[in-house]
Amino acid sequence: MKDEVLRCIECGKEYSKNEILYSCQSCGNLLEVVIPLEDVDPVELRKKFDSRPLSVWRYHELLPRMRLSSPISMNEGGTPLHYCVNLGRQLGIDELYIKFDGMNPTGSFKDRGMTVGISKALDLGVKNVVCASTGNTSASLAAYAGLAGLKCIVMIPSGQIALGKLSQAMMHGAIVLAVKGNFDDALDLVVKSSKELGLYILNSINPFRPEGQKTAAFEICDQLKGAPDSLIIPVGNGGNSAAYWKGFSEYGMIGLIDGAPRIFGIQAEGAAPIAKAFEKGVEKIEPIKNPETVATAIKIGNPANWKKTIRAIKNSKGTSFTVTDEEIISAQKLVARTEGLFIEPAAASSVAGLIKLIGNEKIDRNERIVCVATGHGLKDPDSAIRASEKAIEIEPSIDALRRILSK
């Protein structure tokens, strides 16, 4: 089998997989990893996949090849595709699923990309890794860098990330830098400084990260024994939605699925440059200077992967639109109370998006629908407590309890 290459998404210029590059040297656009699929035998591959447990590395034939004897891994992937009996009934949908990627080792989908990204870092022989993050990437990178023995620097927007995520990055021993600005400022600093300071970037502009993330699409197809009709997914920096589309496309090209889902990319109203581009019918974003949303994970005004994700969503025949913070929190509660799943606000934006699609009759209730829940609810306890009824303080007596129960 041929080796994978890096290819510019715009001009097609190719680079060796051993070069440390995040964008095209000719035109400045993002790069993607091209895995050679021509010689892949779908029957053989199916047999191999089925003989291994569900996980990111189950799909190693479709992942970048490394010189390491084994990848840096904590058994990421293999997350539940939760069948939503109650929520489905409430919304009048027969086949509704939530892909609960909050069940990954550090509680978000980032681990799928990080196992590949950190393994690649070791493969390339780098010593220092860096990311900008709204929280989950920093938690994941800190954990995997610890496992790999690499020095880790994370840049977070000062005072703007959820407590659970911050505690993870700190506990795993990363150098945590609180940048005076928002996520976009932090990513800007990462990109500008990486070469000069010898830091390997593990944001989703690193073409190896999406390779790990595309395995969630493979898993869904394997769990359903076919592709879903629609996939609804939160969009922040735009890396994950594009990675899913890459996964569905590769499975389709090999012949492991027929058809592919429409992808609906959901953004929070106050941080929605990609949804706005769809609204206007243009293939270009206008960055938002001061993004605002309760879903801090997707509080991003200038998504680095905008071109990749707009193309992915368009090619899938889907679209992108917004939901309000109220809709996000109400969907988060609904999922927690009907399905027993505690998902973080950004993750709940996919379910808020589904409710809107049903309301507008933009999606058929007979479809097979998957909402992606990207992160665990325990990541952001503050917002959960703010959104819920206060605990009732009582004296430790049966009478006091009886009074409460009789209300």
**Using the rule CB under 6 A, is 238 a contact of ligand F0G?**
yes
Contacts of 171 (CB under 8 A, 6+ apart): 142
How far is 80 from 167, CA to CA, in rounded Å? 25
* Residue showing tokens 């510019």: 8
**Using the rule CB under 6 A, is 293 a contact of ligand F0G?**
no
**Using the rule CB under 6 A, is 182 a contact of ligand F0G?**
no
* Contact with ligand F0G (CB under 6 A) among 141, 235, 351, 384: 235
* Contact with ligand F0G (CB under 6 A) among 64, 117, 228, 239: 239
Residues of span 191-230 touching ligand F0G by CB under 6 A? 204
89-128 footprint of ligand F0G as x/- string (CB under 6 A): -------------------x-x------------------
Least Å distance between CB 78 and ligand F0G?
Answer: 18
Q: Which of 237, 152, 138, 132 is nearest to 192 (CA)?
A: 132
How far is 61 from 56, CA to CA, in rounded Å? 11
**Using the rule CB under 6 A, is 272 a contact of ligand F0G?**
no
**Using the rule CB under 6 A, is 320 a contact of ligand F0G?**
no
Report which DSSP code applies to 380: -
- Decide: residue 245, CB within 10 A, 0-12 exposed, 13-18 middle, 19+ buried: buried
Strand order in the sheet with 262-268: 81-83, 95-100, 368-373, 230-234, 262-268, 319-323
How far is 120 from 387, CA to CA, in rounded Å? 40
**Using the rule CB under 6 A, is 350 a contact of ligand F0G?**
no
Q: Which is nearer to ligand F0G, 71 or 238 (CB)?
A: 238
How far is 404 from 105, CA to CA, in rounded Å? 39
Q: Which is nearer to ligand F0G, 228 or 265 (CB)?
A: 265
Alpha-carbon distance values, 328 to 31, 268, 361 (Å)? 32, 8, 19
Q: Which range binds ligand F0G by CB under 6 A, 47-55, 92-100, 216-224, 237-245? A: 237-245
How far is 326 from 310, CA to CA, in rounded Å? 26
Residues of span 1-40 touching ligand F0G by CB under 6 A? none
* Contact with ligand F0G (CB under 6 A) among 106, 237, 332, 383: 237
Least Å distance between CB 238 and ligand F0G?
Answer: 5
Q: Which is nearer to ligand F0G, 120 or 379 (CB)?
A: 379
Q: Helix or strand or coil: residue 371?
A: strand
The number of C-alpha atoms within 13 Å of 296 and in the hemisphere containing its C-beta is: 25
β-strand pairing of 128-132 with 151-157:
parallel
Task: Number of residues interacting with ligand F0G: please give it, by CB under 6 A.
Answer: 23
Contacts of 112 (CB under 8 A, 6+ apart): 56, 76, 77, 101, 104, 212, 213, 215, 216
Least Å distance between CB 378 and ligand F0G?
Answer: 12
* Contact with ligand F0G (CB under 6 A) among 77, 228, 375, 377: 375
Least Å distance between CB 109 and ligand F0G?
Answer: 7
Q: Which is nearer to ligand F0G, 145 or 297 (CB)?
A: 297
Contact 260, 220 (CB under 8 A): no
Least Å distance between CB 298 and ligand F0G?
Answer: 5
Interface with ligand F0G (CB under 6 A): 108, 110, 133-137, 204, 234-241, 297-298, 344, 346-347, 374-375
